[in-house]
Amino acid sequence: MRLSACVSLCDSYRQWDRRSFTTLNNVTIPAVSPRNQNSSAADAPRLSQSLGLFSSTAIVIGSMVGSGIYIVDADIARGTGSPALYLAAWIVTGVMTLVGALSYGELAAMMPKAGGQYVYLRESLGPLWGFLFGWTLFLVIQTGTIAAVCVAFGKFLGVFFPSVSATNWIWHIAHVPSLRVGPMVLGNMDIGLNTANLAGVIVVGFLTIVNIFGVRLGALIQNVFTSAKAIALAALILLAFTVGINATAWQANFANGHFWENAGWHSPHAVEVGVGGPTVWVNLLVILAVVQVGSLFSADAWNNITFTAGEVKNPRRNLPLSLVLGTGFVVAVYFLVSLAYLVVLPLHGDANGATAAARGIQYAAEDRVATAVLGQIFPAWGALLMAGAILVSTFGCANGMTLAGARVYYAMSQDGLFFKAAGKLHPKYKTPVAALVVQGLWTMFLCLSGSYGQLLDYIIFAELIFYMLTIACLFVLRRKRPDAERPYKALGYPVLPAIYIAMAAWIALVLLRYKPQYTWPGLVLVLIGIPVYLFWSRRARVQV
């Protein structure tokens, strides 16, 4: 028996926003019964609607802007080998992100509940798909990203305090050597506590505690740090286009047809298949898909505001608006920052160059393009300026993701698909304390394990799959619930959502073929969630 048959017969059940059944491999599995149906539920603490439009938009911007925009341009430049294609990669990312946000806006206004994307998948495709998203989010997407940006915070803190370093070990447990498993190369990492990841652990713990004391405090920190990082990015753009314009870079990137160099339809681009695999030559459409690993990751996490929907004031208006305003701001700034890099540094460079200009964008030291740009503009203290900007950026990003992620685990617990305690709120602060703590502890483990970097590589493909599935929910719900209230309808439906799905599917197929190290491991992480779902759902049925 499927949900489409149940919904029309069970209107009273719909208020719990649960599926009655899901199907896996033609085997019908009863879904989890909703909890907290007793009379005391009305007296239980509820999420406090404290986030206005500015705070909601700040969460979108703050969660998106981490450290990626400061470093991924080097890899994109190496992959494309063309100023035109280098900027085109960011245009593709911008178009996909904006269309995604416009599409999510309808779902967010229609179902403004804690958990966001988890809820949309659950309501459209069934609880299994919602759980697989939440499972992957907890395992690596949210926690791994928080770990990465917090350890990055520690590394850039080392610019001011040299004792904070990834090589300054407090307790070195072990070095895990490289191990090849099919297309994957695992290991080659150090496990233990050094001063850099200690700084990351401290930031994780601090932000976890801060967000326990109410969403207002977390939102205040987010507003301050998002404003600061927006000012820093604006300053970077302004400096590059005024005092930073470099005649050598302009000549190399824009003059005499250099801008369109290697950007022809049949221009060959070299791609290494997998890790240590053969190098093959691909065309324009393939290389633009391959380099999306970096640019899409840098523009990711815009969906985090949907996780906190239960705490947004006037969510049917503010959720769609914050998604569009936040993503629109970030994609415009990212494009301008990447263009700013081109007016200060040549795209092409020499890996052994002695100066930032000689190394170019392609071979900026440790891929820190923004640092190289400011170092070119202000040789004496540019690196310090950039390190300070990245500290602000990473701290704000980690705070936004810490605040948002716990709300998904809270919603999962309400469905009986996560630890029971995670579904309870603090009686005074109305925050999911246990969900925040569990998220923080797992994130700290990832900081120490040294594995989060590899895990982040693996999620790109998985995230594309979930984005495609969620946007497909628009089509499903338009058919299943045609009369449902929709305060905002996706702009350009059905054309723009279909274009997004087509673009994402193309990128996913290209990555499957040319970057298996990013795809198959991510798929495995998702599939491992199926037996976990079966365990949680059976346990929940027994308890109920």
User: What is the number of domains present in the chain?
Assistant: 1
401-448: per-residue pLDDT in tens?
999 999 999 999 999 999 999 999 999 999 999 999 999 999 999 998
In this prediction, residue 40 carries a pLDDT of 41
Its pTM stands at: 0.87
On whether the CB atoms of residues 198 and 161 are closer than 8 A, the answer is no
397-413: per-residue pLDDT in tens?
999 999 999 999 999 99
Per-chain mean pLDDT for the chain: 87
Residue 1 lies in a domain: no
Among 369, 376, 366, 381, residue whose Cα is nearest residue 341:
369
86-124: per-residue pLDDT in tens?
999 999 999 999 999 999 999 999 999 989 999 999 999
β-strand pairing of 27-30 with 21-24 = antiparallel
* Residue-wise burial string across 146-179, b where 16 or more C-beta atoms lie within 10 A, e elsewhere: bbbbbbbbbbbbbbeeeebbeeeeeeeeeeeeee
Per-residue pLDDT at 72 exceeds 50: yes
In this prediction, residue 9 carries a pLDDT of 32
343: containing domain: 32-167+180-543
Residue 25 lies in a domain: no
* Residue 225 pLDDT class (50, 70, 90 cuts): very high
Residue 52 lies in a domain: yes
Angle among Cα 422, 426, 428 to the nearest 5 degrees reads 170
Residue 85 lies in a domain: yes
In this prediction, residue 449 carries a pLDDT of 85
Residue 27 lies in a domain: no
Per-residue pLDDT at 260 exceeds 60: yes
Residue 204 lies in a domain: yes
On whether the CB atoms of residues 495 and 277 are closer than 8 A, the answer is no
| Eight-state DSSP code of residue 259 | G
Query: What count of other Cβ atoms lies within 10 Å of the Cβ of residue 381?
Result: 10
Mean pLDDT of 225-252: 94
For the ranges 23-32, 59-68, 200-209, 248-257, the lowest mean pLDDT is seen at 23-32
Residue 185 lies in a domain: yes
475-524: per-residue pLDDT in tens?
999 999 999 999 999 999 999 999 999 999 999 999 988 888 778 888 88
In this prediction, residue 12 carries a pLDDT of 38
Q: For the domain that residue 428 is a member of, what is the CATH number?
A: 1.20.1740.10
Residue 162 lies in a domain: yes
In sequence order, which residues have a C-beta less than 8 Å from that of residue 389 and are 6 or more positions away? 229, 232, 233, 236, 370
Q: Helix (H, G, I), strand (E, B), or coil: what is residue 193?
A: strand
144-159: per-residue pLDDT in tens?
899 988 988 988 898 8
